[in-house]
Structure 1
Amino acid sequence: MADIRTAGYALVDQEWERGPRAIAVPVRDRTGRTVAARNAATHAARRTPQHCVDHLTPALLNTATHTAPAYTHVPRPLSGTLTPVATHTWLTPSPS
């Protein structure tokens, strides 16, 4: 994980089966915390790992930057009656 944090992307190159190759970048909230990811996948015969890093990563980072506000807006609960369980999901707490 430290290598992924340093590089700023994760590359999966046929790790579970032959063929799939994917690259992903983090989507960060305004505090820098990773809240989601953007990824692109291809077949290994179509793109080299270096092509993915050189050409797909910049496009994914651009998309992550422009879509981050959609993932980082957390509505405030209404008068304490709702409990946040995820960025966009709210559940009513069960009675005590």
Structure 2
Amino acid sequence: MNVPSPRRLQYGYLLEIPIMIMVGGAVVATLFFHLPPVGQKVLVSGMALPLLFCLYYVIVAPGWMADNEHLKPTLRLLAFLLLTAMIGTGVSIFVLGE
């Protein structure tokens, strides 16, 4: 029976995450200054959701990892929650600010 190696099974792993972030960043950078202030706030808060999804996928649910010395699930969840709090605070300040 021909079983592929773990490296072959993970070929291209997480490639979609940086692509999604780059496309989202390009959209925000292109549209941000052409929108009225309300549109800017909607754009930034709307882009925060896919960013948080990507961070969750990368940090909390990483799947296979190359080394055996990775963070425990509790620490990964704590790191994600801290990043979520920081991003949420920044977006809230931008949206609720003048």
**Is the TM-score greater than 0.5?**
no
Q: Which has the higher strand share?
A: 1
Q: Which has the higher helix share?
A: 2
**Range into which the TM-score falls when normalised by the shorter chain:** under 0.3
Bigger relative contact order (CA 8 A; separation at least 6):
2
- TM-score, with structure 2 as normaliser: 0.27
- TM-score, with structure 1 as normaliser: 0.27
